[in-house]
């Protein structure tokens, strides 16, 4: 397999033109995007005749437009050019929502179909817009305050949205608006909105749910009054903007949350759903069931127990359908699918690996749909007529994701059928009617593709083949593209640690090069995969083409290798990750083509924290480090994420102290560049300020680069370029001696 792949790659590369351009940082962030169209937000239309997606504008990679691919005609149509909207800046609510959803682009950033497949809703510039399949876009709201999260009623006659902490419904035929709630925005009350940690950490960006008959809405009522109100200072070139923000610091109070169901016509008062006697819980998920009841996922404050409750919306009474428990933590998922008869699919890690199970309508587990020692990644859909379940999983190992089908009756639970083709990173969206599915795919040599496939995985239509040839933006750089090599190391306990490396051409024992170890290392993401990556991966490619060996390693405590591998980070922040990264640095020192005394380390967000702890705990292995947007003291981060992995500060003071980078400031012995966006609303600037203060008190020199107006993701093109250029300039000075 490897020999065949290598031969194929060599054949492809030999066919490339003799001259090629070297990748630069300026080109990495410029337009058109080097990854090509890279569609996002891919959906089938409700009638299955079209596929809609958001595509980067060719003239401006920072903006996305809405496209529809007509499956009958076999061609894409620009459905909504984002320049059609009024030239109004996006609202603060929209910007914060994009940040939570990790959407770097502006323009059309989200959309929602009606159930009839006739029209689409788009929130933009603080208002709601309606785009029929035929005809011009129509503005539905025109208010000073911003509307967000619009949704059609199931029958398509009404829309709902949130404004200033209240939930509203508007008739599409008359334009008449009705408030479902009126107490929002007062005394820190939010109705129909997902609170900060729900959006940032729970992958829940909505706070209301239409009933299947369209006559009522379930909604969350959030009371933030006990959550600390902090002032975030958005420093910009033209002054300082003070933004008050409710932020639930680890160990502190969370929101008080209720779930209610209200008729949209106001004919009866809302019914409160019983969420139990413990008020200190998280509302994780809400779904309507086929019988008209609610399925509510409730997770405990310590996140060791996840309950699935079934609720009667007329009385508000609930019963416990099932519970998932762990001695460490239970990870949330979206793998809940109800069949028409009330049975449902649910995923669990009780076996040590995430797998899919069929339950009866009361919650009793019937049988496994998948099993074995590899994890399911996510449920993609169910073809109810044939009893086929589609899902993605890491059966081939954590570096790849593939698409599989298994039978609902569990007959092939141990041997599901793989329907994706090609080594790399696959995703799937199954059509509601079944029979066909959308396959997203990328690899180290192929930017994201999108295709329509049949049950067997054969291509029916390419929606975005995105080949790197001809006029593709990356075509001029392909000949110089450095292919990653992969390998493994063994942790002290025998666990397998996967690594990848970009080795510049011409680098060998006679001409060794400095190395940069790029890290993340946190429990929610990997850096070593056989996918294309994105902007950061292209930046690393540019570093490699400029002469650096670039090395990445996924330490214990990262996902994709089972619950036991992941759980090793429990109560161990700052230790096990930096210890495993140290194994990577030690391995680099054994390579004859690496300058062992010129190894740098770099990371962003959790990777920035991992960089700090690596320099402070294993400084003898590194020559320099760049820590971008790092947490420095986990008492400064949010409840849901922090407490999931290291508990409460008052109960685990020793764990928090061991994980506190500021307490190790006197251990810094190598050059450090500290980078942070001054408007970061996720990892507050306070983290880097406190780290800087601790280093200054310890009389440790360091470099610092703060970015006015920038948040956590560095989405501004010029600031992203400056960030990358500053990182490279620092390493050029410290590792190259330039």
Segment 492-505, tens digit of pLDDT: 999 999 999 999 99
Q: State the residue for tokens 């990556």.
A: 533
Report yes or no on 726 lying in a domain.
yes
Report yes or no on 566 lying in a domain.
yes
Is the pLDDT score of 256 beyond 70? yes
Indicate the pLDDT class of residue 19, thresholds 50, 70 and 90. low
| 722 carries an active-site annotation | no
Over residues 720-727, the mean pLDDT reads 98
- List the 305-311 sheet strands across, edge first: 281-288, 294-300, 305-311, 318-325
Q: Among 127, 638, 680, 716, which one carries the catalytic annotation?
A: 680
CA of 350: how far to CAs of 300, 323, 499, 652, in Å?
17, 11, 28, 26
Rounded Cα gap, residues 594 and 157, in angstroms: 65
Indicate the pLDDT class of residue 62, thresholds 50, 70 and 90. confident
Higher pLDDT, 239 or 466: 466
Task: Give residue 485's pLDDT.
Answer: 99
Task: Give residue 652's pLDDT.
Answer: 66
pLDDT in tens, 297-329: 999 999 999 999 999 999 999 999 999 999 999
CATH number at residue 664: 3.40.50.1820
* Helix, strand, coil percentages, rounded to 5, for the chain: 20, 35, 45
Report yes or no on 576 lying in a domain.
yes
Is the pLDDT score of 8 beyond 60? no
In terms of phi and psi (left: phi > 0; alpha: psi -120 to 50; beta: otherwise), the region of 149 is left
Helix axes 535-545 and 717-731, enclosed angle (nearest 10): 30
Rounded Cα gap, residues 643 and 650, in angstroms: 11
Higher pLDDT, 566 or 135: 566
pLDDT in tens, 145-188: 999 999 999 999 999 999 999 999 999 999 999 999 999 988 89
Report yes or no on 382 lying in a domain.
no
Task: Give residue 110's pLDDT.
Answer: 93
Task: Give residue 12's pLDDT.
Answer: 41
Rg (CA), the chain: 26
Q: Among 82, 420, 442, 605, which one carries the catalytic annotation?
A: 605
| 605 carries an active-site annotation | yes
Indicate the pLDDT class of residue 38, thresholds 50, 70 and 90. confident
Judged by average pLDDT, the poorest of 52-66, 133-147, 251-265, 548-562 is: 52-66
Is the pLDDT score of 438 beyond 90? yes
Task: Give residue 99's pLDDT.
Answer: 82
For a pLDDT cut of 70, what percent of the chain falls above it? Answer: 97
Task: Give residue 375's pLDDT.
Answer: 98
Over residues 635-654, the mean pLDDT reads 91
Is the pLDDT score of 9 beyond 80? no
Task: Give residue 88's pLDDT.
Answer: 67
Indicate the pLDDT class of residue 246, thresholds 50, 70 and 90. very high
Q: State the residue for tokens 């239309």.
A: 45
Rounded Cα gap, residues 299 and 301, in angstroms: 7
Report yes or no on 371 lying in a domain.
no
As separate numbers, helices (DSSP H) first and strands (DSSP E) second, the chain gives 12, 44
Report yes or no on 43 lying in a domain.
no
| 712 carries an active-site annotation | yes
For a pLDDT cut of 90, what percent of the chain falls above it? Answer: 87
Is the pLDDT score of 13 beyond 70? no
Distance, first Cα to last Cα, the chain: 42
Q: Distance from CA of residue 99 to its chain's centroid?
A: 11
Rounded Cα gap, residues 674 and 608, in angstroms: 9
| Total Cβ atoms within 10 A of residue 411 | 12
Q: Among 335, 712, 716, 726, which one carries the catalytic annotation?
A: 712
Report yes or no on 233 lying in a domain.
no
Rounded Cα gap, residues 32 and 27, in angstroms: 9
Q: How many residues belong to the chain?
A: 738
Q: Which domain holds residue 566?
A: 482-736
For residue 32, cis peptide bond before it (omega within 30 degrees of 0): yes
pLDDT in tens, 574-584: 999 999 999 99
Mean pLDDT of the chain: 94
Report yes or no on 667 lying in a domain.
yes
Indicate the pLDDT class of residue 98, thresholds 50, 70 and 90. confident
Over residues 267-281, the mean pLDDT reads 98
Is the pLDDT score of 567 beyond 70? yes
Rounded Cα gap, residues 16 and 556, in angstroms: 39
**Signed CA dihedral, 273, 275, 276, 280: sign only:** negative
Is the pLDDT score of 242 beyond 70? yes
Task: Give residue 171's pLDDT.
Answer: 98
Is the pLDDT score of 376 beyond 90? yes
Over residues 482-500, the mean pLDDT reads 98
Question: Total domain count for the chain?
Answer: 1
Rounded Cα gap, residues 386 and 95, in angstroms: 43
Q: Structure tokens of 430?
A: 């199954």
């Amino acid at each position: 397999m490897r020999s065949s792949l290598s031969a194929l790659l060599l054949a492809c590369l030999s066919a490339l033109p003799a001259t090629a351009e070297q990748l630069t940082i300026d080109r990495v962030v410029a337009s058109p995007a080097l990854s090509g169209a890279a569609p996002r937000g891919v959906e089938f239309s409700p009638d299955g005749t079209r596929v809609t997606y958001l595509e980067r504008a060719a003239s401006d990679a920072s903006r996305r437009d809405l496209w529809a691919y007509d499956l009958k005609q076999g061609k894409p149509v620009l459905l909504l050019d984002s320049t059609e909207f009024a030239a109004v800046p996006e609202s603060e609510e929209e910007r914060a929502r994009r940040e939570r959803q990790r959407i770097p682009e502006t323009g059309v950033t989200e959309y929602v179909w009606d159930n009839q497949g006739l029209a689409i809703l788009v929130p933009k510039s603080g208002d709601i817009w309606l785009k029929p399949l035929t005809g011009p876009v129509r503005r539905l709201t025109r208010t000073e305050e911003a509307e967000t999260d619009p949704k059609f009623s199931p029958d398509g006659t009404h829309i709902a949205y949130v404004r200033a902490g209240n939930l509203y419904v508007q008739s599409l035929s008359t334009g008449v608006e009705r408030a479902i709630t009126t107490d929002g925005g007062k005394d820190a009350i939010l109705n129909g909105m997902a609170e900060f940690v729900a959006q940032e950490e729970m992958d829940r960006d909505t706070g209301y749910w239409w009933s299947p008959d369209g006559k009522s809405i379930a909604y969350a009522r959030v009371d933030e009054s006990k959550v600390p109100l902090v002032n975030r200072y958005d420093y910009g070139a033209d002054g300082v903007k003070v933004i008050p923000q409710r932020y639930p610091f680890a160990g502190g109070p969370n929101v008080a949350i209720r779930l209610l169901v209200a008729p949209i016509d106001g004919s009866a008062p809302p019914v409160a759903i019983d969420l139990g006697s413990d008020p200190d819980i998280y509302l994780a998920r809400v779904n309507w069931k086929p019988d008209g009841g609610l399925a509510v996922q409730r997770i405990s404050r310590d996140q060791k127990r996840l309950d699935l409750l079934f609720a009667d919306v007329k009385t508000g009474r609930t019963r416990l359908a099932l519970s998932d428990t762990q001695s460490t933590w239970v990870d949330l998922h979206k793998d809940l699918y109800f069949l028409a008869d009330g049975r449902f699919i649910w995923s669990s890690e009780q076996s040590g690996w995430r797998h899919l199970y069929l339950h009866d309508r009361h919650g009793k587990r019937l049988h496994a749909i998948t099993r074995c020692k590899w994890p399911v990644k996510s449920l993609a859909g169910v073809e109810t007529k044939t009893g086929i379940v589609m899902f993605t999983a890491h059966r081939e190992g954590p570096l790849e994701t593939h698409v599989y089908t298994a039978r609902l009756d569990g007959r092939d639970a141990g041997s599901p059928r793989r329907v994706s083709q090609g080594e790399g990173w696959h995703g799937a969206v199954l059509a509601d009617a079944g029979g066909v599915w959308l396959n997203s795919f990328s690899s180290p040599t192929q930017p994201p593709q999108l295709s329509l496939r049949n049950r067997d995985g054969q291509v029916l239509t390419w929606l975005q083949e995105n080949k790197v040839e001809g006029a593709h933006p990356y075509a001029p750089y392909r000949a110089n593209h450095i292919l990653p090599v992969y390998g493994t190391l063994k942790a002290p306990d025998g666990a397998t640690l996967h690594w990848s490396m970009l080795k510049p051409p011409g680098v060998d024992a006679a001409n060794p090069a400095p190395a940069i170890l790029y890290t993340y290392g946190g429990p929610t993401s990997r850096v070593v995969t056989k996918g294309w990556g994105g902007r950061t991966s292209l930046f690393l490619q540019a570093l490699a083409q400029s002469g650096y060996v670039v090395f990445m390693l996924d330490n214990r405590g990262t996902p994709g290798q089972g619950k036991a591998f992941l759980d090793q980070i429990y109560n161990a922040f700052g230790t096990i990750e930096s210890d495993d990264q140290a194994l990577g640095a030690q391995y680099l020192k054994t390579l004859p083509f690496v300058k062992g005394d010129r190894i740098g380390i770099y990371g962003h967000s959790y990777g920035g924290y991992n960089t700090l702890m690596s320099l402070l705990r294993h400084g003898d292995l590194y020559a320099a480090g760049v820590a971008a947007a790092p947490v420095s003291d986990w008492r400064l981060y949010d409840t849901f994420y922090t407490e999931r992995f290291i508990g409460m500060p008052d109960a685990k003071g020793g764990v928090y102290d061991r994980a506190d980078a500021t307490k190790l400031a006197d251990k810094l012995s190598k050059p450090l560049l500290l980078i942070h966006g001054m408007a970061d609303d996720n990892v507050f600037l306070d983290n880097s300020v406190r780290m800087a203060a601790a280093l200054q008190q310890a009389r440790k020199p360091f470099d610092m680069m703060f970015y006015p107006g920038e948040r956590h993701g560095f989405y501004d093109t010029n600031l992203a370029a400056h960030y990358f250029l500053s990182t490279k300039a620092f390493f050029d000075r410290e590792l190259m001696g330039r």
